């Protein structure tokens, strides 16, 4: 196979390996959050979701956390009860069930602010 000068330069000077390129390609093509969750939240429902790691099929590296819609509920209490039941039955620590949307919590470091929705700890 013959290469032109530009292809040869790109091959010589591309700092990424084949594994890095495969990971980047998988990351771009993988949807981590199920679009059905947003649709359920737009309808005012509460979503029971299954969360767990998503792996790259080429490198087995973790792409991120995959969140998949399981069921929707009109009330948060019913969804939380079902999530707790599923979590008690789950034998693997990597996967868990959760309820979306997250609970609104007051941000402890700014008493003047309104409540915020957060998935992250406040630090």
Q: What is the pLDDT of residues 45-104, one digit of tens each?
A: 999 999 999 999 888 889 999 999 999 999 999 999 999 999 998 887 889 999 998 766
Query: What range defines the domain where residue 52 resides?
Result: 16-117
Whether 63 is in a domain gets the answer yes
**Residue 49 β-bridge partners:** 69, 98
Helix residue spans in the chain (DSSP H): 5-13, 18-29, 35-42, 76-89
State the pLDDT at residue 92: 79
pLDDT at residue 123 greater than cutoff 70: no
pLDDT at residue 111 greater than cutoff 60: no
Whether 62 is in a domain gets the answer yes
Whether 8 is in a domain gets the answer no
CB neighbours of residue 70 within 10 Å: 17
- Global pTM? 0.66
Q: CB under 8 Å to 71, separation ≥6 — which residues?
A: 47, 48, 79, 82
Tell me the CA end-to-end span of the chain in Å, nearest whole number: 54
Phi and psi angles of residue 51, each rounded to the nearest 5 degrees, phi first: -115, 145
Whether 101 is in a domain gets the answer yes
Question: What is the number of domains present in the chain?
Answer: 1
Whether 3 is in a domain gets the answer no
């Amino acid at each position: 196979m013959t290469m032109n000068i530009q292809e040869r330069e790109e091959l010589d000077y591309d700092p990424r390996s084949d594994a890095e390129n495969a990971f980047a390609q998988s990351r771009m093509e993988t949807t981590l959050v199920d679009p059905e969750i947003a649709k359920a939240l737009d309808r005012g429902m509460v979503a029971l979701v299954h969360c767990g790691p998503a792996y790259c099929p080429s490198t087995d590296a973790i792409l991120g956390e995959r969140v998949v819609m399981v069921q929707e509920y009109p009330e948060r209490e019913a969804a939380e009860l079902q999530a707790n039941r599923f979590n008690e039955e789950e034998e693997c620590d990597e996967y868990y069930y959760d309820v979306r949307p997250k609970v609104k919590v007051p941000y402890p470091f700014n008493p003047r602010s309104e409540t915020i929705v957060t998935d992250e700890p406040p630090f």
